[in-house]
Amino acid sequence: MNAWQQLSVNALLGTQKSSAPIVWPSAELNQINQQLSAHHAPLLAQLALMSVYQRAGQQATKLTPQEPAQSDTKQAATIAQQQPLTYLLSHEGQEYLSVWLKLAAQQNVYFPYALLPNLLALGTQNKRWRLEIGAVAGTRGTWLATQNTEWSWLIGAQIDLHNELLNDYWHTTTTASRELIFERLRLQLPAQALVFLQQIWGEETAATRKTLLEKLLINLTPADHDFLEQCLDDRSKIVKEVAVDLLVRLPQSNLQQRMQHQLSLIVTLKKGLVLKSLVVDELQNVSESLERDGLNPKAADIRNGLGEKAQWLRDIVACVSLDWLSEQYQIPAQAFVTATLKTDWAEAILTGLATAAVRQTQADWLLALLEVDSKKLQLPRFLLFNALTNAAKETYLLGLLANTSKLNERASLLTPWLYQAQSWPWSTQFTIVVMDIYQQLLKQQQSSQLHYYLARCGDMSLAQQANQYPQQIVSAWQFRLSLKQAFA
Amino acid sequence: MDTPQITPEQALQYAPDDSSIKAAKKLAPAHQWQQLHLHLHSDGCFVLWGDISGSAIYNSSILLGEKFNFSCSCPSFKRPCKHGLALLMCYAQQSSAFLQGKDIPEWLQKQLAKHDASTAKKQEKAAAPAKVVDEAAQAKRIVAREKKVKAALNELQQWLNDVIRLGLGQAKNLAYSDFERVKQRLVDGQAAGLVSWIEDFQSALAHQDWQQRATQQLGKLQLILSAYQDLHRLDPKLQADVRSLVGWNTPQDQVLAQAQTTQTWMIMGSRELEGVNNLRYRRQWLWSLNSQQAALVLQFSVGFQPLPPAWPATQVFDAEVGWYDSAWPQRIAIKSQTPLSRLQALPNIGFDSIEFALQQQAQALAANPFLAIFAMLLKSVVPQQHNGQWFVIDTQHSALPLYIQGDVWPLLALSGGHPITVFGEWDGYVLTILSAWHQSEVISL
């Protein structure tokens, strides 16, 4: 025990108790100690002396450094590219983050090191960022992911898909990492992805099977058909639902053909002199074959107000090809919808048609269904709208606006669509129309949220022209432009 | 004239509380504001102003003077309110959104006129002849305080004697109120400087390694008390150190009167702490690029008054400074300084190894054994975790335990296992890292 340790023991016990003699480390200290014996509390004086001695003689611990991160082959971000990153990582700026990440990935730029933890934390919280993060995290990100298990998903976003060890990694990695590998394989090597999925299919939980199966939507081809058809026999309802959803997106899939056959048996077209009408011969029960194809024999979904037979009809309609439907009944989309509205089964058929239209992104059907009076039937209008192309969305909204010249009505017509639907980059013409409405509202000193959508989605190139637009919107456009210019 | 540069982190330092930050972040994007302007006032200060729609249209402005002066027409009692904070954040994030112009609205003209009148009044007061100091009365006050301090220190000595008699094993069971009583007596006895040492002793007793730490802390306290008792036998500079520790202040004018030639200073980082009586203070560290030594600027605020924003690490400025008397001078007062600027490339400065840094500390302690904190600028060190504790390791594999107020991951990401430069406060147990850099990337911690 050295002098300091002995003093510590003496201090712990207190001077009331007998203390052990101290062996001083040097003659000088011993000499000073002798001078301290006259002190009213010698132990305190000894502690005072040794506290400085101890600190002045401090030694460092010896440790071996670990393996460092490999050097990045990507380029460092320039100051202009780095500048907006603190804002882009904040909750408010995240809507523009994707733009930065995509541009950086295109230009082979890595994310600044010091901000990487914030970016990885964002990816940990929200899966939607993970692939984009993987493209910019660089070797520093790979190294960090080995230091923090929460970030281990990054390995899946970065691993070389041609790596010999990929197969081993696929079998041993975490679910989060496996999801990312599968998504990347689907994008680049869809056939190999299917093989990988089949390898682990029997071992995974229903939730994981569902998540991975959903990703088959990426580059879905007839090559996936047989596997999906097998999935109809899956014991899990959620997996089966995804399999049905994917199969009906495959043109001429067996499921689609079975459903078309079933529909042709129960829905017929009655031709009058002028008009055509639909006759529905209701399905009385669900056969084992139909149950396998996703129909629920015990359907009792009260939420949307449909009875079981209506639900069966809806589910059958949702699975047929809309091209086949037009051909089979010899009437175009609009006429079919009109004919349907006259039947007692309008809600069931139209809801099924809406699902089919969204799955098959058939513009004529989407628009025909959007025309249905929303007061009569509650169709998923925003889902239908989202399935339209950007140009079609704008044409539809401009059409709505053309029906009224009253400023407040025009603003009220527009706002729900902008608020509820997924945002899209607006064309110049559409931006000018919305801007006109917003500026008129401003002149009348009426409040509006249109500026928010103008700033976020409006055509930013308008900021480069001479204009009289509100400054805050122009500033937001300039900010969006500056993001692009930083990578120009 | 260059427009002011403010970082989002600096802007957030003005927030009175966390809820203001949350609210201000929502209002900070430029599109939330109806108008945003930057105006150069006649006194050379820039003014940010803008209108934002809330329950009504609110006019918000910030005079970017030596101290930022926030003003807003909203009914909030907080200053700055969320609008003021959002305006500053908006400028920090997107200064290009602010239109520069001479025309200002009437409400702002009135505010600026009020500000000008207040500035003129202050200048008038400053220009007035200084009050004649009654030296006899001052000497009498000093003698009276000396007496009070000695009495308080005698009581503290008595308490330490009791502690050591009973032993630290018993001291561990002392009640919170026992420590509060000792601290209050020190405040009453005008020796408030020792309160933090008592707090350190109290914390040491609660530490995992309490036996070693409490013994060390007790020794440090006794060293100060013994030194104060024999103050006249010490070197005058060491006397100044001891008196400063006990709580005697040196007037800033006295320090500035001895201001030396201009040097270039690099900002190293800062740490905010709480003192007694609702006092908050910041230790702002600088590094002289001329003499390669650390210097400390203390900034204080009382109550709800916010501290001025901390300076951004690794920026530089030239300044004429005065050093407070000390056997190992650390603290400075700034007489005059140039605006902050960035270096083209960060310099390769600092201690080459941890061993060398510890040798420097030993030298510092030899000169001033009361030194509580030793500033360390270490180049080429790697942060790394070992058995649940984080360390910095140098090229010779020597390691010191590190501590970071907040998240350690940015430091680790900056390094990636490669050597970086770090600056921190070494207190004998742990290196509290305040900033780090590698090439052009800098982090403040």
Summarised one tens digit per residue, pLDDT across range B53-68 is: 877 788 999 988 777 8
Higher pLDDT, B133 or A417: A417
B164–A contact, CB cutoff 8 A: yes
DSSP B250-302: PPHHHHHTT--S-EEEEEEEEEEEE-STTEEEEEEEEEETTT--EEEEEEEEE
B369–A contact, CB cutoff 8 A: yes
Confirm if A353 and A346 have CB atoms less than 8 A apart: no
Chain A, residues 23-52, CB within 8 A of chain B, namely: 39-41, 43-45, 47-52
Domain residue ranges in chain B: 8-124, 135-246, 252-337, 354-444
B174–A contact, CB cutoff 8 A: no
Q: Is B232 helix (H, G, I), strand (E, B) or coil?
A: helix
Query: Residue A480 is encoded by which pair of tokens?
Result: 């969006």
B354–A contact, CB cutoff 8 A: yes
pLDDT for res A349: 92
Chosen from A6, A7, A55 to mutate, greatest number of chain B CBs within 10 A: A55
Give the sign of the dihedral formed by CA B156, CA B159, CA B165, CA B168. Answer: negative
Confirm if B422 and B378 have CB atoms less than 8 A apart: yes
Chain B, residues 101-130, CB within 8 A of chain A, namely: none
* pLDDT tens digits along B232-289: 899 999 999 999 999 888 888 888 888 878 899 999 999 988 877 778 889 999 999 9
Contact state of B428 with A475 under an 8 Å Cβ cutoff: no
Confirm if A175 and A208 have CB atoms less than 8 A apart: yes
Q: How many beta-carbon pairs under 8 angstroms link A with B?
A: 207
pLDDT for res B28: 87
**Closest chain B residue by Cα to residue A453:** B31
Which has the closest alpha carbon to A353: A376, A324, A330, A396?
A324
* pLDDT tens digits along A236-295: 999 999 999 999 999 889 999 999 999 988 888 877 766 677 888 888 888 888 888 888
B166–A contact, CB cutoff 8 A: yes
Query: CA-based Rg of chain A, rounded to a whole angstrom?
Result: 34
**Sequence-ordered list of residues with C-beta below 8 angstroms from that of A34, at least 6 positions apart, any chain:** none
pLDDT for res B411: 94
Which has the closest alpha carbon to B294: B425, B432, B431?
B425
Question: Would you say residue A318 has pLDDT above 70?
Answer: yes
| Alpha carbon distance B213, B211 (integer Å) | 6
Which has the closest alpha carbon to B116: B188, B44, B54?
B44
Candidate from A14, A56, A59 with C-beta closest to B167: A14
Place of tokens 């101890």: A54
pLDDT for res A273: 65
| Alpha carbon distance B351, A186 (integer Å) | 52
| Alpha carbon distance B138, B132 (integer Å) | 11
Q: Is B127 helix (H, G, I), strand (E, B) or coil?
A: helix
**Closest chain A residue by Cα to residue B441:** A114
**Closest chain B residue by Cα to residue A61:** B399
pLDDT-derived band at B25, boundaries 50, 70, 90? confident
Please tell me what DSSP assigns to residue A234.
Answer: -
Per DSSP, helices labelled H in A201-342 are 206-214, 225-231, 237-247, 254-266, 288-292, 308-318, 322-329, 333-341
pLDDT for res B65: 79
Residue B209: list chain A partners with CB under 8 A: none
pLDDT for res A42: 85
| Alpha carbon distance A375, A392 (integer Å) | 23
- Maximal C-alpha separation, chain A: 127
Contact state of B441 with A114 under an 8 Å Cβ cutoff: yes
> 3-class secondary structure for A131-152?
HHHHHHCHHHHHHHHHHCHHHC
Contact state of A65 with B417 under an 8 Å Cβ cutoff: yes
Residue B219: list chain A partners with CB under 8 A: 44, 47-52
The set of long-range contacts for B67-71, using a CB threshold of 8 Å and a minimum separation of 24, is: B67/B308, B68/B14, B68/B309, B69/B115, B70/B14, B71/B111
pLDDT for res A274: 65
Please tell me what DSSP assigns to residue A129.
Answer: G
Contact state of B362 with A84 under an 8 Å Cβ cutoff: no
Residue A360's CB: how many other CB atoms inside 10 A? 17
**How far out from the chain centre does Cα A111 lie?**
20
Q: Which residues of B252-274 are buried (b: 16+ CB within 10 A; e: fewer)?
A: eeebbeebeeebebbbbbbbeee
pLDDT-derived band at A329, boundaries 50, 70, 90? confident
pLDDT for res A109: 95
DSSP A457-471: HS-GGGGGS-----H
pLDDT-derived band at A307, boundaries 50, 70, 90? confident
Query: Do the bridges between strand B33-40 and strand B46-53 make them parallel or antiparallel, or are there none, so unpaired?
Result: antiparallel
Contact state of B215 with A65 under an 8 Å Cβ cutoff: no
Question: Would you say residue B1 has pLDDT above 60?
Answer: no
Candidate from B25, B361, B382 with C-beta closest to A65: B382
Distance from CA of B132 to the nearest CA of A (A): 43
**Sequence-ordered list of residues with C-beta below 8 angstroms from that of A397, at least 6 positions apart, any chain:** A413, A414, A417, A430
Contact state of B167 with A12 under an 8 Å Cβ cutoff: yes
Confirm if B357 and B380 have CB atoms less than 8 A apart: no
Q: Which of A258-262, B119-123, B214-218, B405-409 is predicted with the least confidence, judged by mean pLDDT?
A: B119-123
Residue A59: list chain B partners with CB under 8 A: 358
Q: What is the mean pLDDT of chain A?
A: 89
| Alpha carbon distance A144, B413 (integer Å) | 7
Contact state of A52 with B219 under an 8 Å Cβ cutoff: yes
Helix (H) or strand (E) holding B322: strand B316-323
Contact state of B216 with A12 under an 8 Å Cβ cutoff: no
Chain A, residues 65-84, CB within 8 A of chain B, namely: 65-69, 79, 84
B139–A contact, CB cutoff 8 A: no
Which has the closest alpha carbon to B378: B293, B444, B436, B291?
B436
Contact state of A63 with B399 under an 8 Å Cβ cutoff: yes
Candidate from A65, A86, A451 with C-beta closest to B8: A86
Name the region of B386 (left: φ>0; alpha: ψ -120 to 50; beta: rest). Answer: beta
* pLDDT tens digits along A131-156: 999 999 999 999 999 999 999 999 99
Q: What CATH number labels B354-444? A: 2.40.50
Residue A452: list chain B partners with CB under 8 A: 31
Contact state of A455 with B31 under an 8 Å Cβ cutoff: yes
Arithmetic mean of pLDDT, B299-323: 85
* pLDDT tens digits along B344-377: 888 889 999 999 999 999 999 999 999 999 999 9
B226–A contact, CB cutoff 8 A: yes
Chain A, residues 96-125, CB within 8 A of chain B, namely: 112-118
- Maximal C-alpha separation, chain B: 75
Candidate from A58, A65, A140 with C-beta closest to B397: A65
Candidate from B165, B218, B226 with C-beta closest to A16: B165
CA distances from B273 to A348, B279, B308 (A): 67, 9, 14
| Alpha carbon distance A57, B206 (integer Å) | 25
Residue B398: list chain A partners with CB under 8 A: 60-62
Chosen from B222, B230, B404 to mutate, greatest number of chain A CBs within 10 A: B222
| Omega cis (within 30) before B80 | yes
Q: Is B178 helix (H, G, I), strand (E, B) or coil?
A: helix
pLDDT-derived band at A322, boundaries 50, 70, 90? very high
B165–A contact, CB cutoff 8 A: yes
Question: Would you say residue B151 has pLDDT above 80?
Answer: yes
Place of tokens 């692939």: A131
Query: Residue A82 is encoded by which pair of tokens?
Result: 């780095």
| Alpha carbon distance B288, B330 (integer Å) | 11
Query: Residue B396 is encoded by which pair of tokens?
Result: 């010779």
Which has the closest alpha carbon to B100: B43, B39, B46, B30?
B39
Arithmetic mean of pLDDT, B101-126: 86
B215–A contact, CB cutoff 8 A: yes
Q: What is the mean pLDDT of chain B?
A: 89
- In chain B, what are the helix, strand and coil shares in percent, each to the nearest 5? 40, 25, 30
For chain B, give the percent of residues with pLDDT over 70: 99
| Alpha carbon distance A138, A158 (integer Å) | 8
Distance from CA of B82 to the nearest CA of A (A): 15
Confirm if A262 and A290 have CB atoms less than 8 A apart: yes
pLDDT-derived band at B415, boundaries 50, 70, 90? very high
Arithmetic mean of pLDDT, A200-206: 90
B417–A contact, CB cutoff 8 A: yes
The sheet carrying B279-288 orders its strands as B294-302, B279-288, B263-274, B316-323, B332-337
CA distances from B129 to A270, B119, B123, B133 (A): 108, 18, 12, 12
Chain B, residues 72-101, CB within 8 A of chain A, namely: 93-94, 96-97, 99
Which has the closest alpha carbon to A16: B72, B324, B167?
B167
Distance from CA of A423 to the nearest CA of B (A): 17
Query: Residue A473 is encoded by which pair of tokens?
Result: 């919107």
Query: Residue A404 is encoded by which pair of tokens?
Result: 């009224």
Q: Which of A448-457, B17-26, B149-158 has the highest mean pLDDT?
A: B149-158
pLDDT for res A137: 94
Arithmetic mean of pLDDT, B413-432: 94
pLDDT for res A198: 93
A56–B contact, CB cutoff 8 A: yes
Residue B346's CB: how many other CB atoms inside 10 A? 17
Residue A44: list chain B partners with CB under 8 A: 160-161, 164, 218-219, 222
pLDDT for res A304: 59
Arithmetic mean of pLDDT, A397-404: 91
Contact state of B413 with A52 under an 8 Å Cβ cutoff: no
pLDDT for res A473: 87
